[in-house]
Amino acid sequence: MKLNTKNRFSRLEKIIGDSNLELLRKKSVLVLGCGGVGGYVCEALARSGIGTLILVDYDVVDETNINRQIIALESTIGIKKVDVLEKRIKDINSGCHVLKMDLFVTNENIESLFDHPIDYFVDACDTISVKKEVIRKCIRKKIPFISSMGTGNKMDPSQLEIVDIRKTVNDPLARILRKFVKDEKMTQKVMVLSSRELPIKTHDRVPGSTAFVPSSAGLLIASYIVGKFISKK
């Protein structure tokens, strides 16, 4: 069956118009971390007609991912996350250009992420040192970015918000990055996805998770980016 690629975005076009839809087709978004939050960022951006998605992750799908990651199924266990996500994106929109970086990102190799044009950088990784370096490099290179804070041990997606890091509360990860931003004497806004909900204490170093908080976080980030692209037009 031959598909009409225009039809798949016709409902979105009714809201944002053809010129904005064309604008989104020309945009490139890098997503660092394709798990619970990052997977839903990619899902929503692919369904919004973003033209290029750069996927960065070194991990494979694990059975413990099934409760919250959109790419995690019994059939995808053991497969590289970037490979599973690329196949899914192409099934949503074959016209989307997907670049895969099967890479464990460190401060030593992070510069390689900037080898391709990036209109927006999404940090959905778990490594604090890398998060700090993303902030430094994106500010230095003048690349718009947003960083996901902690979604583990949270139950209420309605308490998620996108704010400047300085306005975050009840988020242990954000507390570390607030101090970093202050110590570095940064004056630029550092936009993050954070939750105002107090984390549930589990007395376990491995955080608990739900199906609805990471997914909601990813969808909020995608909505924020699309809104930024359209408003800048």
CB 217 within 8 Å of CB 160 = yes
Which residues pair with residue 55 across a beta bridge?
A: 31, 100
Give the per-residue pLDDT at 203: 87
Sort strands 145-148 and 160-164 into parallel, antiparallel or unpaired: unpaired
pTM for the structure as a whole: 0.96
pLDDT at 147 over 80: yes
pLDDT at 233 over 60: no
Architecture of the domain defined by 14-231:
3-Layer(aba) Sandwich (3.40)
Give the pLDDT confidence of 37-58 residue by residue, as tens digits: 999 999 999 999 999 999 999 9
**Tokens describing residue 143:** 């690349």
Average pLDDT over residues 81-102: 97
92-126 burial, b for 16+ CB within 10 Å, e for fewer? bbeebebebbeeebeeeebeebeeeebbbbbbbbe
Average pLDDT over residues 5-20: 92
Average pLDDT over residues 74-89: 98
**Tokens describing residue 63:** 């059975």
- Considering only CA atoms, which of 52, 92, 51, 50 is closest in space to residue 71? 92
What is the rounded average pLDDT for all residues in the chain?
96
**Tokens describing residue 176:** 């570390």
Average pLDDT over residues 115-130: 97
pLDDT at 232 over 80: no
Give the per-residue pLDDT at 1: 47
CB 220 within 8 Å of CB 162 = yes
**Tokens describing residue 68:** 């919250």
Average pLDDT over residues 201-212: 93
What percent of the chain shows pLDDT beyond 90? 94
pLDDT at 32 over 50: yes
Q: Strands, E, within 48-107: which ranges?
A: 52-56, 97-101
CB 215 within 8 Å of CB 36 = yes
Give the per-residue pLDDT at 5: 65
Average pLDDT over residues 9-30: 96
Sequence spans of domains, the chain: 14-231
Q: pLDDT-based confidence at 7, cuts 50/70/90?
A: confident
